[in-house]
Amino acid sequence: MKKISLFVTITSVAIVLTVSAFVAIIPHNANHYPLVTELYDGSANIVSAIYLDFRFYDTLFEVLIFSIAITGVSMYANRVKESGKILAANSPLIKFDLLFLGMVIILWGLYTALIGHLQPGGAFSGGAITASGIVVLTMAMGSEKIHKGVERFKLEWIENSILIIIVLYVIFADIPSGFFFPGFSVGKIGDFFSGRGALLLNSTIGFKVFVGGWLIFYEFSKRKESV
């Protein structure tokens, strides 16, 4: 089992890296105003520049609404008696396929979130893709192993504390470029460290969306017993 998962992980990392090296998504509409971004933001992706910089308050309240939705779902679902579980896939072939697919989807989601300021993608789509990968992994390995992670890592706490990071960023976003993290500098368009807070925000918001999707799946897959 351990050998299989190691093999799956390494192979899917290799696949994602090769795909991302050869198939760069051409940003069609994403860069109509390079001058503006070059002066003030430094993201190659104008959409990312807008929702992580120029109109960041929209994103802040979007994230807040998402947080409140997740909290509501888990508060309601905590009352439901937990008794349901998803069994692992029976056939080893299907299990292997699902593991493989799930790993590739998760890594692709991480990649999409991290490279959001350079090409189409970003925190919300990356987080959603990663959550779908976790759902596929749950189907492969059964719910017990995967769902232990929710309790062990205290995911709800991490998910809520990311909100504090984002609020702190909003308060101190006006720091001079390159204050304590290379991601804060405007940088050169196309560099990995560019686009001011894009790297930090994409990774944190992406993680938040990922955990939120996972929590929703976890809460809804508990069975409701009629007593």
- Judged by CB under 8 A, which of 12, 43, 59, 112 binds other proteins? 112
172 lies in the site for other proteins, by CB under 8 A: no
Distances (CA, A) of 226 to 34, 82, 85, 160, 195: 59, 12, 16, 32, 53
Q: Which is nearer to other proteins, 48 or 184 (CB)?
A: 48
Q: What is the DSSP string of 190-213?
A: T-SS-STTHHHHHHHHHHHHHHHH
**DSSP, res 44:** S
196-215 residues in contact with other proteins (CB under 8 A) are 213
CA distance 99 to 94: 8
- Judged by CB under 8 A, which of 66, 100, 124, 184 binds other proteins? 124
163 lies in the site for other proteins, by CB under 8 A: no
CA distance 60 to 57: 5
Stretch binding other proteins (CB under 8 A), from 13-21, 65-73, 126-134, 185-193 = 126-134
Stretch binding other proteins (CB under 8 A), from 11-19, 32-40, 65-73, 124-132 = 124-132
- Judged by CB under 8 A, which of 8, 52, 129, 140 binds other proteins? 129
- Judged by CB under 8 A, which of 100, 118, 121, 212 binds other proteins? 121
**Encoding tokens for residue 143?**
């719910």
Q: Which amino acid is at 21?
A: A
Q: Which is nearer to other proteins, 78 or 177 (CB)?
A: 78
Other CB atoms within a 10 A radius of the CB of residue 172 amount to 11
7-66 residues in contact with other proteins (CB under 8 A) are 25, 28-29, 47
- Which spans in the chain are helix H? 2-22, 34-36, 46-49, 56-77, 92-114, 123-141, 143-152, 155-171, 198-220
135 lies in the site for other proteins, by CB under 8 A: yes
221 lies in the site for other proteins, by CB under 8 A: yes
In 3D, which of 157, 131, 160 has the Cα closest to residue 146?
131
Total residues contacting other proteins by CB under 8 A comes to 31
Q: Which is nearer to other proteins, 31 or 67 (CB)?
A: 31
CA distance 72 to 108: 29
- Judged by CB under 8 A, which of 55, 81, 188, 223 binds other proteins? 223
In 3D, which of 16, 45, 19 has the Cα closest to residue 118?
45
Give the footprint of other proteins on this chain (CB under 8 A).
25, 28-29, 47, 84, 86, 105, 109, 112, 120-122, 124-125, 128-129, 131-133, 135-136, 138-139, 213, 216-217, 220-221, 223-224, 226
